[in-house]
Amino acid sequence: MAKRRKKNQDINQDNVLSLRAAGGALQRTFDADVIQSFRYMSTELKLNRDLPRRVAVIAALRGEGVTHTAVALGLTLANDTGARVCVVEVNWWAPGLITLLDPRSLADSATKKRRKKNSDVAQSDPALPDHPGLAQVLAGEASLDDALIHTDMPNFDLLPAGTIPVARRPPLARSAVLREFLDQLSTRYDHLLLDVPAVRTTSDAIALASLSDACIVVSRQGATSTTSVQQALDDVKSLTMLGVVLNKVSIKTPRWILSLIPQE
């Protein structure tokens, strides 16, 4: 049994994927269980249908893990298929892409919870204090190449949201400028994963999700009600639904039983 457990541990270690960006200043390691879940999802989508070129990752409420899901799925796709993938953060209400990759974000989680939720301009992360984002590109204040965060994978990039005043967010979410920009970006990448704000938090989320060809809904186990998820699904019912990701699942199966289950 000890040998089998050691073998399973080795396999799990092999399935871990790490992401590094911005000269090593930003990094994130995704657990084997997370990567295996998205590997299964992407493989199933590839087998059953063509994975859409533009996918919105959405949730009913904040804190469901949309950014984590978008980056983990994008990393898995880029690593396994060789496709050119870019995660585009269009969430100016609660941007978290840079923070997700900052190792200090785990230690500072308590501090982040105390930040003002509806500030006029989103606060920048100390890891990249002056890094421009999508908002600055659309405003002509920065080039796309300056705003992109290139990772250690040549076919996987990240585009943070940047900062924009509250009053400018609704018109930008519905603008031809944003749509045309995404159309142009689609010529550069095989897949765009849009990190969209919570559907039940702002009506702009529906407009942003509609910029995609299909969507994935993220729901946190034990935290989001079925009613909230159903309302979110109803709000985007015009879009093709690829599936629902149940985040932070807690499995009660004893470890000794899990050690007996064959792994890939």
| Tens of pLDDT, residues 106-158 | 444 444 444 544 444 444 444 565 789 999 999 999 999 999 999 999 999 99
263 inside domain: no
- Does residue 109 fall inside a structural domain? no
CA dist., res. 97 & res. 220, Å (int): 18
Measured CA to CA, the distance from residue 241 to residue 233 in angstroms comes to 9
Q: Which residue has the higher pLDDT, 225 or 146?
A: 146
Indicate whether 197 belongs to any domain: yes
Has residue 110 been placed in a domain?
no
Q: Is residue 115 part of a domain?
A: no
> Is 114 inside a domain boundary?
no
Is residue 35 helix, strand or coil? helix
Domain that holds residue 27: 2-104+122-258
Distance from the Cα of residue 57 to its chain's centroid = 7
Section 178-193 average pLDDT: 97
In a domain, 80, yes or no: yes
List, for residues 95-116, the tens digit of each pLDDT value: 999 988 886 654 444 444 445 4
Contact 72, 42 (CB under 8 A): no
CATH number, position 247: 3.40.50.300
Q: Does residue 68 sit within a domain? A: yes
pLDDT digits (tens, 9 = 90+) for 52-77: 899 999 988 888 889 999 999 999 99
Q: Is 212 left (phi over 0), alpha (psi -120 to 50) or beta?
A: beta
Burial (CB count within 10 angstroms: exposed 0-12, middle 13-18, buried 19+), residue 113: exposed
Q: How many domains does the chain have?
A: 1
Alpha helix locations (H) across 23-118?
32-48, 66-81, 97-101, 109-113
Identify the three-state secondary structure at position 56.
strand
